[in-house]
Amino acid sequence: MNTKFFLSTVAAVFAVMLLSAYVPRQAAGDPWVVPEKYKKMKNPVASDKESISVGKSLYAKHCKSCHGTKGLGDGSKAAQLKTKCGDFSSADFQSQSDGSIFYKTSEGRDDMPSFKKKIPEQEDIWSIVNYIRTMKK
């Protein structure tokens, strides 16, 4: 093995570890900060029968395993997560703007994955938001 290559690899790994300690992260359980732009964003997709149907189908494929059938955070994978899944039916969750829910779904955080690549059409994410709105208590 080339000693110079080995030492440069070790140095690079150490540098990544050192830098990662200084990257600010939002701790699990901390309030999920949503940029103001998204808080004020209006849903461009009408909450109609078609949109809710599309949202329900996408939710079943991408969200149900963690968030559960009724959005209570009791899906089959929920117990395996480090962070608690939100209860979409709660008044607290439902009080968020559509743009906030869109942002969280698109960007993800901690155990919640980003869906902007898995669901590349923004209209589809907005349809999921419309479906989640039907989960009110």
* CATH number of the domain within which 130 lies: 1.10.760.10
Q: Do 103 and 35 meet the contact criterion of CB atoms below 8 Å apart?
A: yes
Model pTM above 0.85: no
Q: Is residue 14 part of a domain?
A: no
Mean pLDDT of the 45-66 span: 98
Per-residue pLDDT tens over the stretch 81-106: 998 888 999 999 999 999 999 999 99
Q: Is residue 18 part of a domain?
A: no
What is the chain's length? 137
* Radius of gyration from C-alpha coordinates of the chain: 19
Q: Is residue 74 part of a domain?
A: yes
Whether residue 16 is predicted with pLDDT greater than 50 in this model: the reply is no
Per-residue pLDDT tens over the stretch 58-89: 999 999 999 999 999 999 999 999 988 889 99
Sign of CA dihedral 24, 112, 129, 92: negative
What's residue 94's pLDDT? Answer: 96
For 116, the domain range is 28-135
Amino acid at residue number 47? S
Q: Is residue 12 part of a domain?
A: no
- 45 closest CA partner among 135, 128, 127: 127
Cα 31 from Cα 41, distance rounded (Å) = 19
Contacts of 122 (CB under 8 A, 6+ apart): 102, 106
Contacts of 32 (CB under 8 A, 6+ apart): 26, 104, 109
Number of domains in the chain: 1
Residue 31 — pLDDT band, cuts 50, 70, 90? confident
Q: Is residue 66 part of a domain?
A: yes
Q: Is residue 4 part of a domain?
A: no
Whether residue 24 is predicted with pLDDT greater than 90 in this model: the reply is no
Contacts of 37 (CB under 8 A, 6+ apart): 99
- 66 closest CA partner among 110, 25, 125, 26: 110
Q: Do 112 and 65 meet the contact criterion of CB atoms below 8 Å apart?
A: no
Q: Is residue 91 part of a domain?
A: yes
Q: Is residue 78 part of a domain?
A: yes
What's residue 1's pLDDT? Answer: 58
